Amino acid sequence: MRSRFLFFVGLAVGYVLGARAGRERYEQIRDGVSRLWGSPRVRRARQDVESYARQQAPVVRARAEAAAKAAPGVISDGARATAETARTVADRTAAVAADVAERAATAAKGVSQTVARAAQDVAGRTATTANDVAGKAADAAKDVATRVTSTADDVKDRVTATASGVRERGEEVGAQFVARASTARDDALAEIDDEDDS
């Protein structure tokens, strides 16, 4: 009973882990169980049970037929012998079945351990990949920030240079304007003086 429980617990754990890991993991688990069912140890245990049952079936049948054909006194002796043989067959069958169940439980435990190791491996790889991606994203963000800062500094320098150039040109244009205005005023005053003199 305990070995059956362990076997079904192993199957349930395998199913849950397989369902979480997706279809691919389910296929791997299914293949593992198929390999287990077809493994030489389990196949040998199944064949042992079948072989034993086939060997004992003719013996039981022969004794039952002999008992049926015998006289009433012999029938009771045959029935006792048949019952004894049936008990022996049942005991041996139970022992073989227990052995098969134990082997299956051991194999299921091995499968569940393999599945658990595989799940831990997948989780470890996923964590490593996530850390790598996070590191690369952080490096890329730093690179972008550096480039943005550099570009902003270049723009600031160009704007400052352009503003200085505009200021110098403005001062130059202002000086030229003042000079022209002064010349125009002087010319206008000179014409007014010439008109007053005439």
Sorted by where each begins, the domain ranges of the chain are 2-145
Rounded CA separation 27/121 (Å): 17
State the DSSP H helix or E strand holding residue 71, giving kind and residue range, or none if neither.
none
Is the pLDDT at 72 greater than 70, yes or no?
no
pLDDT for 22 equals: 66
pLDDT, the chain, mean: 78
pLDDT for 174 equals: 85
CA dihedral 78, 79, 82, 83 (to 10 degrees): -150
Listing DSSP states for 55-67 in one string gives: HHHHHHHHHHHHH
pLDDT for 16 equals: 63
